[in-house]
Amino acid sequence: MIALNRKPLSKWTITSNIDMSIVDLSPAEFEVKVNTQDETLSIEDQCSKVKCNENEACILNKDGEAECACITECEDPKDKRLMICTKGNHTYTSDCEFYRMQCWCRKNDEQCTRKEAVTDAVDYFGQCQDLGVCTEFELEVFPKRMKEWLGEILDALFVRKDLDPKYETLVNEARKMKLSNTEKWWRNAVLWEFCELDRTHDNSVNNEELARFIRSLKVLEHCIQPFLDHCDTDNDNKISSDEWGTCLGLDKNDMTFLTTFCSH
């Protein structure tokens, strides 16, 4: 397995037909000069009441009014692992390219070449390929591999200084456990991953929170989706902290620590 890339996949930029600089879609302040009124207008102010789709960006049109427009430029990723395969089994060079195609097709733009893109969705990162079927045996041994892999990832992120400082105690404890041949040395990594996935801090991870995790692993571990489906014992389309712990071999004391630590 490889480490998850938790950084944004691509930098999306848009341009309009009025005198304005390229807009970087990041949470930053930017201004646009509209020559017709000789005024400086804040895009953030103008766009605050406009809600755009994921494949669109808010711009000011020639009348100085805010509107949603399709992304016009997508960076060409150097890493092929950043390609995406959709559920319709179509490969795009990046998520940006896919969302742009969706936008073009939704707006009936002449640049739309795949009408089905409107109802398509990202399945996993990487070129489309036959992932095969997860067998019963593979599903049975998958949890052990996942736990050990998470342990290695947690330590690697710490070494690279890409880890939130609040997890430092988890890493140090895990290292001691591994050196002393403690059977559950991976425990802290399992706790850490749940904390990272649970962005809403409600002691459960929903489909949206799991989506990127699944997409990043699916091409490498075709059992990831069946495994998570198996963990969702009450079929409510989310995995509670108890379900996560049960699936990955945590005991009651571990779960108590998980719920208190993740809430910080």
Q: Which residues, listed in sequence order, are joined to residue 23 by a DSSP beta bridge?
A: 14
Q: Could you give the CA distance from residue 10 to residue 155 in angstroms, rounded to a whole number?
A: 26
Assigned domain for 7 exists: no
Claim to verify: residue 40 and residue 109 sit in the same structural domain = no
188-218 burial, b if ≥16 CB within 10 A, otherwise e? Answer: bbbbbbbbbbbeeeebbbbeebbebbbbbbb
- Strands (DSSP E) contained in 51-102 are 56-60, 66-70, 73-74, 84-86, 91-92
Q: pLDDT digits over 22-57, tens only?
A: 334 334 443 444 444 434 456 677 888 888 887 788
Q: pLDDT digits over 68-86, tens only?
A: 999 888 888 778 878 999 9
Assigned domain for 145 exists: yes
Is 125 within 8 Å of 79 (Cβ atoms)? no
Structurally, the chain folds into a number of domains equal to 3
- Mean pLDDT, the chain, rounded, equals 81
Give the range of the structural domain holding residue 42, as residue numbers without chain letter.
Answer: 12-72
- CATH number reported for the structural domain that contains residue 83 in this entry: 3.30.60.30
What pLDDT score does 264 carry? 59
Assigned domain for 234 exists: yes
Claim to verify: residue 140 and residue 258 sit in the same structural domain = yes
What pLDDT score does 136 carry? 94
What pLDDT score does 263 carry? 66
Mean pLDDT of 151-167: 90
Claim to verify: residue 150 and residue 254 sit in the same structural domain = yes
Claim to verify: residue 151 and residue 209 sit in the same structural domain = yes
Claim to verify: residue 111 and residue 150 sit in the same structural domain = no
H-only helix segments in 107-223: 136-159, 168-179, 187-197, 207-217
Q: Could you give the CA distance from residue 226 to residue 230 in angstroms, rounded to a whole number?
A: 6
Assigned domain for 2 exists: no
Angle at 124 between CA 198 and CA 146, to 5 degrees: 55
**Ramachandran class of 203: left when φ > 0, alpha when ψ lies in -120 to 50, beta otherwise:** left
Claim to verify: residue 250 and residue 173 sit in the same structural domain = yes
- CATH number reported for the structural domain that contains residue 252 in this entry: 1.10.238.10
Indicate the pLDDT class of residue 8, thresholds 50, 70 and 90. Answer: very low
Claim to verify: residue 173 and residue 240 sit in the same structural domain = yes
